[in-house]
Amino acid sequence: MSETAEKAIKVLELLSTYDAPVRLVDLARSLKMNKSTAYRLLEKLRQLGYVRQDEPNGRYMLTVRMWEVGVRAFRRFDMRVWAKPHLEQIHQKTNETTVLAVLDGREVVIVDKIDSGQAIQTFSPLGSRSPIHCSSLGKAFLMSNPDGLLAGLSEPLQAFTSRTVTSLAKLRHDVSVAQREGVATALDEFREGVSGISAPVIGVEGVALGVIGITLPTARAKGASFAAAKEVVRANAIELSRALGHSEG
């Protein structure tokens, strides 16, 4: 990307954070540009229809052109297309069943997957659902919004196996650990013998758009290979989130 194009994008991103028209001097200061450079960029963006100046003080603001472009892009957005290369990379490095899931109420739904090539593997069909509290997929969603997603849930949470977390306090603890590690795990919590590693895919507004991860037999959910798989999932979720506009700040 050319330096000029990069600076122009930064101008647009900065303008999008203001609720009111902003002065040239304030924009230049925030962007760490001199006023003449900032002015030239703003003038070019004004000519292209992305920026306008309010009257009578000449402060700058975005036009609806950015909104129109965003709407068109969103209409063409398909999480599966964006996630596919990352699912393939995770699959290649772990040889486990790799999945992409989205949130539907208080359940997660698998919308894409690549099956493991190993003789013993988990069964995770497309369209299958799991409650938000007892799978690595669900816990990965909780990592980005635990208060909102847990609001209204009452104890005991439904148990599916002897290892299902049924206490909100324990679930919050697990989510806190997941936030520190960057990945959520669940061992035998929804189905006996099935474990998982997942991480959230965060969009530009800081909200989880989906989660990616692996499901695997619990017998393989241990040791160095399990630790390595956690890092692979975490790294790919971060990379995909960045591609979708998320900035870790």
Going from N- to C-terminal start, the domains of the chain cover 3-74, 77-243
| CA end-to-end distance (rounded Å), the chain | 21
- Taking residues 21-25, what's their average pLDDT? 90
pLDDT at 177 over 70: yes
For position 182, what pLDDT does the model report?
95
Residue 1: pLDDT above 60? no
Interval 103-121 mean pLDDT: 90
Measured at the alpha carbon of residue 22, what is the angle toward residues 19 and 28, in degrees to the nearest 5? 130
Of all residues in the chain, what percent carry a pLDDT higher than 90?
Answer: 58
Rounded Cα–Cα distance for residues 101 and 107 (Å): 10
- What's the mean pLDDT in 2-14? 86
Does the pLDDT of residue 77 top 80, yes or no? no
Instruction: Give the model's pLDDT for residue 165.
Output: 94
Q: pLDDT category, 74, cuts 50, 70, 90?
A: low
Is the pLDDT confidence value at 125 over 70?
A: yes
223-233 confidence digits (pLDDT tens)? 999 999 999 99
Question: Which pLDDT value is given to residue 161?
Answer: 96
pLDDT for 116 equals: 92
Which pTM does this prediction carry? Answer: 0.72
May I ask the CATH architecture of the domain 77-243?
A: 2-Layer Sandwich (3.30)
The sheet with strand 107-114 has its strands ordered as 129-131, 107-114, 97-104, 208-217, 194-202, 184-187
Would you state the pLDDT for residue 232?
96
Q: What pLDDT score does 81 carry? A: 86
Architecture per CATH, 3-74: Orthogonal Bundle (1.10)
* Average pLDDT score over the chain: 90
> Picking from 49-53, 54-58, 201-205, 217-221, which range would have the lowest pLDDT averaged per residue?
54-58
**In the chain, where do the E strands start and end?**
51-53, 60-62, 97-104, 107-114, 129-131, 184-187, 194-202, 208-217
